[in-house]
Structure 1
Amino acid sequence: MYAIRVEKLRKEFKVQRSREGLKGAFRDLFRREYTLVRAVKDISFAIPQGEICGYIGENGAGKSTTIKMLTGILVPTSGELRVNGFVPYKDREKFVRGIGVVFGQRSQLWWDIGVIESFRLLRKVYRVPEADFNKRLNELVERLQLQDILNRPVRKLSLGQRMRCELAAALLHNPSIVFLDEPTIGLDIVVKSEIREFLKEMNREHGTTILLTTHDLQDIEALCSRVIMLDDGRIIYDGGLEELKSTWGKGKEIVFQFGSPVPLSQLEMLTPDMPVRWSVNAEGSASVWIPRQGDAVAVSDVLSRVVGRFDIRDMKILEPNTDDIVREIYRVGSAEAGGAGPAETGGTPAGREAMRA
């Protein structure tokens, strides 16, 4: 069963076009001109219950607009969407009881009152029975380490403390789906790591479906097995993160630190039948580059020919960089092999199969 199902979803806005000069401004008072902007262009995808899915794209790609339609804040121009079986903008009162939302740059907490008072107000908003609320609150306070800040006004919290409270506020009513829009923006690496671990635990223990939008690809790598990539309002990739790496990664590099320098010629003699490239430097280290050629050469094959032959003091394997891969995909404009045109309804065979199910 799908937690989220979207078919041919479109959102258009009428944006006023201002004319230049004083004369133009005067004319705008009486006759305004508008430009039609399509923020989301007929996208389709389906997210099964219990999945953590990354929803990524450059600024202006349509991520936040999609989230606002999925949460019932915006009404689509056309297309169909269902979240937890509800049409968000039609069944809003029943629908919101099953979702949690965190906008990294907006707060749902009251600024001048204590955190615990905000939580109690949200209990009444979501009509959560007091016994259930207390049980859930105790669990969240312990896991997010909120004990020492519950009575502080929100305005006196650090950004990391506030984001932990925002997560707790979004989860007090135990929603089955959580929408996270830039939940780690501006946070230091320690707080980011804590929030990632909490989200993984929540998904594992409660089966919570999570749709995560972020510019921090480390969030995606830490949490998501699937990623939906948006460009100019269209889906250009829908599939696994590892599949994305294997398709677009340019290869792997193994760096060896030898006890004493090894001549390049000796290293090349180890792999004459492999399409690899060796290089050495004066400090006694050497690198072998394994290009992506349908996984014709495995890392283990190269290691088996080197280990035991030389005095290896240290070794590391450099994987494809996700940031560089995503940047290259946006440069090309498609995640299809060879840079084919944008995928209108989901990029990969897995994504298309999900839509047919």
Structure 2
Amino acid sequence: MGDAAVEVVDLRRTFKVPERETGLRASVRSLFHREYRQVHAVDGITFEIGAGEVVGFLGPNGAGKTTTLKMLAGLLHPTGGQVRVLGETPHRRRPDYLSRISLVMGNRNQLQWDTPAADSFELNRAVYRIPPAEFRSTRDELVDLLDLGALITKPVRNLSLGERMKVELAGALLHRPQMLFLDEPTLGLDITMQKRIREFIGEHNRRHGSSVLLTSHYMADVEALCRRVIVIDHGRILFDGDLAALGGRLAAYKELGVTLADGAADLSGYGEVRSRDGDRVTLRVPKETTPQVTARLLAEHTVLDLTVEDPPVEDIIELLLAAGHKAP
């Protein structure tokens, strides 16, 4: 294995899950003879993440994303394969390794619930043995970047979800980790707070060069932060490559946004009408006929505005999952 921040080769994780039929008889029988089935949560995946790279890790619920992150962070022992993060074997959980990574889960509390975040920050300083001067410098930088202000003096339980997520991020970054695992960091946040968190993650990456592996159901997070994405489903990688190339490889259509002087015109003859917002209509048009359709629109109507774009990333990933195999 080389010098990449994350190196994964044929990584596997299998869980043994008890199963039985419903009913009293099945319940009694299971007391003496319990049956199990093997669930392959992660089924032989291989990838690398370079130093300073921000990679999106995408897939539906149950695809194996969180299980993979937990193995990379050392919380789960792999069933098979090899994994190295920052040159270490994660499940050995050596103190030197743990001091260089951080795992943030949007649906988990990591700070003390009944005390101010500032107290938890001090506890983290002691746990990670951060020199006082370095701690104060990093804390003040995080307070400024995340606009924490008086939030860190309030008990965590009194904070809103968005405020709590900001202080959780700050607490996770006080020791300046080289590798950051983010599992749904904007889960449940409003649009404004999602944008603030995205901007912070991007700025932190630019300032400190930390590597980031990000899972999110909000494609705006991925599009804003990641040039590369890995798509996983049923524990297997379906796609690993450039985000911009994903649409070009899979999508067989373009989306045209059209605003006409005659907003009531019927445009169904030009393509599939996907939406109508006032006078603006969004059409889905086969990629190979897009130039001809665009020319017809301009020739046959008074066009006030026209845009041609790739389909939303969410739609492209749905196509990839439906295909069930790696994109060519």
TM-score, normalized by the shorter chain, greater than 0.5: yes
Per-residue Cα deviation, 1:304-338 (whole angstroms, up to 9, x for no partner):
x959x98643333343121111112212212424x
Q: CA deviation at 1:302?
A: 5.7
Larger Rg: 1
CA distance in 1, matches of 2:282, 2:135: 57
CA distance in 2, matches of 1:197, 1:306: 38
CA distance in 1, matches of 2:272, 2:78: 55
What is aligned with 1:76?
78
1:155 aligns with 2:169: no
Q: Pick from 110, 113, 123: which aligns with 2:112?
A: 110
CA distance in 1, matches of 2:183, 2:93: 22
Alignment CA distance shift 1:289-1:17 (3 Å): closer
What is aligned with 1:314?
305
Q: CA deviation at 1:278?
A: 7.4
Alignment CA distance shift 1:326-1:279 (3 Å): closer
Could you tell which deviates more after superposition, 183-192 or 122-131?
122-131
CA RMSD of aligned residues (A): 3.1
Q: CA deviation at 1:7?
A: 0.2
CA distance in 1, matches of 2:255, 2:233: 30
What is aligned with 1:244?
246
Give the secondary-structure state (helix, strand or coil) at the position aligned to 1:73: coil
Q: CA deviation at 1:42?
A: 0.8
Q: Pick from 130, 133, 136: which aligns with 2:132?
A: 130
Q: CA deviation at 1:210?
A: 0.5
Alignment CA distance shift 1:130-1:25 (3 Å): same
What is aligned with 1:5?
7
Maintained 8 Å contact 1:250/1:320? no
**Long gaps (5+) in structure 1:** 265-275, 338-357
| Alignment: residue pair count | 322
CA distance in 2, matches of 1:203, 1:82: 21
Q: CA deviation at 1:81?
A: 0.5
Query: TM-score scaled by structure 2?
Result: 0.88
**Long gaps (5+) in structure 2:** none
Give the secondary-structure state (helix, strand or coil) at the position aligned to 2:246: helix
Maintained 8 Å contact 2:52/2:211? yes
1:325 aligns with 2:316: yes
Give the secondary-structure state (helix, strand or coil) at the position aligned to 1:61: coil
1:217 aligns with 2:212: no
Give the secondary-structure state (helix, strand or coil) at the position aligned to 1:324: helix
Maintained 8 Å contact 1:228/1:239? yes
Q: Which amino acid aligns with 1:130?
A: P
What is aligned with 1:201?
203
Alignment CA distance shift 1:260-1:42 (3 Å): closer
Alignment CA distance shift 1:69-1:312 (3 Å): same
Maintained 8 Å contact 1:19/1:28? no
Maintained 8 Å contact 2:249/2:327? no
